[in-house]
């Protein structure tokens, strides 16, 4: 059972970095640092969007309109941090 918790924590950590990567990439795309017409850039953008959007979309529905600022990745990162810490500090010690 401990191996399952460690695997879940690893998956949360990987998803954490994918969300950060998607946010940074969206800033690079918005400020025209990367070439949006490049095929590789398009593939990376599409992949990051498909990976992160299912988790970010429900959060965006509940957030008020803040203009051009999207804080849904920050809220998702906080939620993932809470779940990770809960697994490590509450669930894992109870199984030992």
How confident is the model over 70-90, as pLDDT tens digits? 899 999 999 999 999 999 999
pTM of the model: 0.89
What tens digit of pLDDT does each residue of 18-40 get? 999 999 999 999 898 998 899 99
* Residue 26: CB atoms within 10 Å: 16
Q: For residues 1 and 5, what is the distance between their CA atoms, to the nearest angstrom?
A: 7
Asked whether the predicted pLDDT for residue 2 surpasses 90, the reply is: no
How is residue 82 written in tokens? 């809470």
């Amino acid at each position: 059972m401990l191996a399952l918790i460690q695997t879940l924590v690893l998956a949360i950590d990987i998803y954490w970095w994918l969300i950060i990567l998607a946010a940074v990439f969206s800033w690079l795309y918005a400020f025209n640092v990367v070439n949006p017409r490049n095929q590789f850039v398009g593939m990376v953008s599409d992949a990051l969007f498909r990976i992160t959007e299912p988790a970010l979309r429900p959060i965006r529905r509940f957030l008020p309109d803040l203009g051009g600022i999207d804080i849904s990745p920050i809220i998702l990162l906080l939620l993932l941090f809470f779940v990770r810490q809960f697994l490590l500090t509450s669930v894992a010690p109870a199984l030992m």
